[in-house]
Every structure is written in C-alpha cells, then in structure tokens.
C-alpha cells in the first residue's frame, strides 16, 4: 500500500496511470494547485538536467581520477623508489665510479710521494757516516766528504795520506 507521498512523487514524475491515476487525482484537495506544482517540478527537473548534467559527469570523472591516483600513489611509490635507486647503479656507472676513485687515489698518491721526495732526497745519496785514518801511518791526514747531487755521487776525500811508489799500482 503506497502512502500519499509516494503516490504524489509518482504523480509528479508521471508514473501513475489508469485507475490509480484517476483515484489519486480525485483525492487531491486542490487540483489546480497540484497541477501547477507538477508543472513547476517538471520545469525544475528539466532545468537541472540541462544545466548540471555535464558538470555532474565531469565531477564524477574528476573524482574517479582522484581516487585512482590516490590508490596508485599508495601502492606504487615504494616500488618506484626501489626501481629508481637500483637503476642509478648500473654496471657502466659502477665501472666509471670505481675507475674514477682509483684515478683520484693514484693522483693523491703521486702528489704525496712528490712532496715527500725532496725531503728524503738525501736518503737516495750515499752517506758517509764516519771516516778515520791511522794517525801513526799518516799523522797529517785529513778526511772530508761531499755529495754531488747532480751526479748522485758521494766522495770521501782524503789529504795527506802517505804517498807510495808506482809499484803499488800493480794488479
């Protein structure tokens, strides 16, 4: 059993027919006012359909798009981030990075070695730690030493050693 409000809504929408229609129209207290109200409702319906139909559809699409994006953002980011992270360390890039690191290491090593060499240059020349002559055999003998860096030769120079005859040059 339909209520009056249900029958009224159906009448406004033009969904009543036959006996039900005639009985409902007969039950209306003011038929003219009801007809005016029905016409107004139909106009309003038509207007709404015409003016809002397109925008409603747009909003629906926009909403759907927003929902899809949100779902994708919630599910995709970790995978995307992982993919981006692993994509950077490709084998060629690893090779280049390793090569560049090695080159930097070599450059610094060479620079450090070069800085170190001048201070230690004397280590690469022969050094005379001490020298002595027999004071009994050569009482006036003196010794001196010098390094010739240009020729990398170290010389122990003696003076006043006892001179010997040419026979001593024998093999």
Measured between alpha carbons, how far is 84 from 30 in angstroms, rounded to an integer?
Answer: 74
The reply to whether 10 sits near other proteins by the rule CB under 8 A is no
Contacts of 20 (CB under 8 A, 6+ apart): 7
Q: Please state the φ and ψ torsions of residue 155, each to the nearest 5 degrees.
A: -120, 130
Contact range with other proteins by CB under 8 A, out of 6-14, 41-49, 79-87, 127-135: 127-135
Cβ proximity to other proteins, 32 vs 168, nearer residue: 168
Helix axes 4-12, 18-27, angle to 10 degrees: 110
Considering the complex, what minimum distance in angstroms separates the CB of residue 131 from other proteins? 4
Note whether 148 binds other proteins by CB under 8 A: yes
Residue holding tokens 């409000």? 5
Among 15, 59, 126, 140, binds other proteins (CB under 8 A): 126
Vertex 111: Cα angle to 103 and 93 (nearest 5): 15
Residues 55-114 that bind other proteins (CB under 8 A): 92, 95-96, 98-99, 102-103, 106
Interaction of residue 163 with other proteins, rule CB under 8 A = yes
As a whole number of angstroms, the longest Cα–Cα distance in the chain is 166
Residue 124 is a binding residue for other proteins (CB under 8 A): yes
Binding residues vs other proteins (CB under 8 A): 92, 95-96, 98-99, 102-103, 106, 123-134, 137-138, 143, 147-148, 151-158, 161-171
């Amino acid at each position: 059993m339909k209520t009056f409000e249900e029958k009224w809504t159906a009448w406004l929408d033009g969904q009543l027919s036959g006996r039900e229609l005639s009985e409902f129209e007969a039950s209306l207290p003011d038929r003219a006012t009801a007809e005016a109200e029905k016409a107004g409702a139909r106009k309003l319906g038509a207007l709404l359909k015409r003016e809002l139909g397109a925008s409603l559809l747009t909003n629906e699409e926009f909403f759907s798009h927003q929902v899809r994006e949100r779902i994708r953002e919630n599910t995709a980011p970790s995978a995307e981030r992982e993919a981006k992270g692993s994509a950077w360390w490709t084998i060629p890039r690893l090779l280049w990075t390793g090569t560049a690191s090695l080159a930097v290491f070599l450059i610094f090593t060479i620079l450090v070695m070069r800085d170190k060499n001048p201070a230690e240059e004397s280590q690469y020349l022969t050094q005379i730690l001490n020298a002595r002559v027999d004071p009994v055999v050569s009482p006036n003998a003196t010794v001196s030493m010098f390094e010739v860096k240009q020729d990398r030769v170290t010389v122990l120079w003696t003076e006043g050693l006892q001179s010997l005859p040419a026979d001593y040059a024998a093999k």
